[in-house]
Chain A
Amino acid sequence: AQSVAQPEDQVNVAEGNPLTVKCTYSVSGNPYLFWYVQYPNRGLQFLLKYITGDNLVKGSYGFEAEFNKSQTSFHLKKPSALVSDSALYFCAVRDGRSGGYNKLIFGAGTRLAVHP
C-alpha cells in the first residue's frame, strides 16, 4: 500500500532549539518525497523535495530533510527554530503505482509550535 505516516500530531520546541518533524513512507518504486507547510488560512507552500542524489536536501526558510532508505524515513529538520516557523507541516510521497499519474499522497500533518 502507498502511504505516508506522520507519527506526531504536534511538536513543541523552544525558539532557538533544533526541530525535527518526522515522516515515514511506504511506496512502490523509487520514493519521490516532498514537504509542504501551511500557515493559518492559507494553502500549502512547497518547502523541499527528494528525487534522487544526496540524502540531505536543503529547502526554503532554512529547512532541510534527510532521506533514509533503510528506515523509509524523510524527517524535516531545522537547526534553530523561529516562532514564525509555527505552522502545519505535511509530508507527501509520489504514488509510484502504474497508472498513478504521479499523484501525491499526503500525511495527516504535524502542527509545529515554536515557543518564545
Chain B
Amino acid sequence: EDQVTQSPEALRLQEGESSSLNCSYTVSGLRGLFWYRQDPGKGPEFLFTLYSAGEEKEKERLKATLTKKESFLHITAPKPEDSATYLCAVQLISWGKLQFGAGTQVVVTP
C-alpha cells in the first residue's frame, strides 16, 4: 500500500535554531514530491516540487531535498513567521493525483 509519513508531528524551535522535517514514502513509482506550507485557518500554499533523487530546491530559509525513500525540508535560522504546518505530497506514476502526508506543525518562538 502506498504510504506517506511525515515526522515529527510537531516541532518547537527557538528563533535561529535550524532543523529538518522528514517526509518518507513507500510508493510504487514516484513521479514527483511536493511541499506545501499551511497557516492556521488557510489553504495550503505551494512551496516546491522535486522530481528526481538528488534534486534540491531553495526558497529563503527553506531547502527541500529528495532521495529515493524520503524528502527533507531544512529550515535554516528560522524566524517566528516560519511557524506553520508543512505538508508533503507524492504524485504517483500510476495515479497522477497527489497523496498527502499528515503534516508537521512547526512553532518558532522568539
A and B are interacting partners? no
B residues adjacent to A (C-beta < 8 A)? none
